[in-house]
Amino acid sequence: MDSNLEEEVLNPNTSASRLRELSKSLDREVRQAIVKNPNTPPDVLVRLFDKFPLQVLHNPALSLILLERPNFLIEIYESNKLVFHKYQLTDFFYNWAIFHVNESIRSAVASSSKTPEHYLEQLSDDKNSFVRLQVAANYNSSACTLKKLALDRDNSVRKAVARNPSVPIDILKELARDETAEVRREVAANHNTPFNILAKLAQDPSLIVRASCYEE
């Protein structure tokens, strides 16, 4: 990028109308620099969030934008619903998402391999069973989190723990004694389940559990 142009797009005194015009540039560096400018119009930030989410979230004017547009975070999320799966984001954005009333937003965080574990641990207490299921299925959930979810009241959550490839053996051992046959079936189908547990499940009263012990 030309040095004069760079100075212009980063200058907080550059007018919003000029920044809007420059935001249509085909030069990626120009567009990336524009989202860092505190004078960039919010609708331009929404449009560019898909390509530069971290830069938008670090925009110096973000707190002021939120005062004027309380739904701004919803706007940027709606513009790129896969953002939690593509990037590790700011703590501010995670904290907004994990406590949001919209369960689909919380589920997006819970299911992402990019989500830091301490947020997964918080979501493991979510009131919505589908959100907890996403945490239970997440490869990055800690052993402590999975152990808690292995005791979840919802069968679907315990099933997700049982089929998680990262679940520790001691948790599989506990789930092999679960009262629900479908949970025990998932233990039998998990490729990490050791032979001694499979041997016991091969004698299970449920046909679907016994059959899963012999599936490839």
Tens-binned pLDDT, residue by residue, of the chain (216 aa): 677 787 889 889 999 999 999 999 999 999 999 999 999 999 999 999 999 999 999 999 999 999 999 999 999 999 999 999 999 999 999 999 999 999 999 999 999 999 999 999 999 999 999 999 999 999 999 999 999 999 999 999 999 999 999 999 999 999 999 999 999 999 999 999 999 999 999 999 999 999 999 876
Backbone torsion region of residue 81, taken as left when φ is above 0, otherwise alpha when ψ lies between -120 and 50, otherwise beta: alpha
- CA 26 vs. chain centroid, Å, equals 30
Q: In the numeric block, which tokens belong to residue 199? A: 């041997």
Contact criterion met (CB below 8 Å) for 175 and 184? yes
- What's the CA gap between 209 and 70, in Å, rounded? 51
- What's the CA gap between 14 and 109, in Å, rounded? 36
The 10 Å Cβ neighbour count of residue 29 is: 13
pTM (two decimals) = 0.91
- What's the CA gap between 213 and 216, in Å, rounded? 9
Q: In the numeric block, which tokens belong to residue 87? A: 């990037």
Contact criterion met (CB below 8 Å) for 65 and 57? no
Residues 6+ away with beta carbon under 8 Å from 51: 28, 31, 32
Q: In the numeric block, which tokens belong to residue 145? A: 């989190």
- What's the CA gap between 216 and 203, in Å, rounded? 18
Instruction: State residue 7's pLDDT score.
Output: 84
DSSP 8-class letter at 88? -
- What's the CA gap between 84 and 113, in Å, rounded? 9
Strand, helix or coil for residue 13: coil
Strand, helix or coil for residue 171: helix
Residues 6+ away with beta carbon under 8 Å from 95: none
Please state the domain extents for the chain: 1-80
Residue ranges with strand state E in the chain: none
Instruction: State residue 216's pLDDT score.
Output: 63
Radius of gyration of the chain (CA): 23
Instruction: State residue 215's pLDDT score.
Output: 76
- What's the CA gap between 62 and 205, in Å, rounded? 59
